[in-house]
A and B are shown apart, each in its own frame.
Chain A
Amino acid sequence: MKVQGPRSDRRPRSPLRRRRRVGASGAVAVLLVAVCGFTTHALAQQSRPNPLPGRTFQSADTQQLEADEARNPGWLWVEEGAKFWSRAEGTAAKSCESCHGPLNTALTGVAAHYPKYDVPAGALLNLEGRINRCRTVHQGAPGLAYESSELLALTALVSSQARGTTRHVEITGRAAPFFEAGRAFWQTRQGQLDLACTQCHDGLAGKHLRGDKISQGQSDGWPGYRLEWQTLGSLQRRLRACSLGVRAEVLDYGAPEYLSLELYLAWRGEGLAMSAPGVRR
């Protein structure tokens, strides 16, 4: 039954597609539209905010902590990463430096363009994925697990080398289906609380969710040090926290959904200056 509520005309229609009471065929149509990119670009253009860096929504104390390299704990991981940079690894006995040269030259700005479709890998790679490809393909070393201190240190190092450079990612060609999947995920209500990412991070940015001020959900400050975690964490760890928050399935690290989401987030933040390691509440 349809209920005409007092406030149904007060609010602009959201781009959300409700799935309930939509038959399987309706859902398939929605998916097809998303995958084929039919008119979706225009919709996506409309929904991209004027990007604000994640720190904007943190308290003054937290922002000061982030800005001070001597006090921002994230820099401990960067320092650790710098040690790994020149350490020979694996059966090839090569270090990162053997291929890329000294720090502050080779990888400057690179992190601003990830995730990226990698032709030899035949996959969309985020920074963690790129680092692990280098390990397995070029160093002959095993891949590193998400949230291991070594992978966190290396992603923090490579991200820090992009500080201040402008976010720009490729979303056409082979990257297009991942971009569309990420956008669809962003706009899909999910979990027992039936909320979509866009509802909080597009619709409610600046509002208070208990003690948190909701940001635009930008990824410029990640990997980041979260005070609640008392450690540095990957962007995917942050995404898992939001999945849990709406009581949705918490997907595995590296899940295709989160990879696609990372690409969508990067595109939403196009033009932002990279700022990892960020500090968050």
Chain B
Amino acid sequence: MNDISESYRRFLEGDDSGLTEIIRECRDGLILYINLYVGNVHTAEELAEDTFVKLFIKKPKDKGGSSFRTWLYTIGRNTAIDYLRKNRSRNTVSSEELSELAADEEQLESACIKEERRRTVREAMKRLNPDYYRALWLVYFEDFDMKSAAKILGRTVHATQTLVYRARLALKEELEKEGFEYENL
């Protein structure tokens, strides 16, 4: 049983510190993932909060392994897509808010991605097709296995493998443009 599962077990038994621990461990990554859909880190923060509320209300039975995080990210993705559907004509933001958004996103990334080289990779990923970006994020930054990533993305495992292969190819091209040696990743 991993740490998150242990925290979740304690939350189910009435210990609220378990919930706090889960949010400490998972919040920033979830916000960054939702941000890949909504493109606004403040909105992503609100939707991540909604995601946690949904999960803690439902209290699904944890089977150990990576299932808890898989649920969390699946619900996070669903919540993000719901938001996009309800807000098709996206709100415009002022230039001041744009600067604040960028600063908050950078701060969040710095907290999540300590290694400089991984930050470079993430910068290159931002230029990819969003489907590629999301798949790579789950597999390489959140360490989901292919089956879990497929569940989160709502695709078959094979389709996800194909997506990740193609994404890696596209990422390689992006990195090579910057003289980055992909094989050293």
Report whether chain A binds chain B. no
Residues on B close to A: CB < 8 A? none
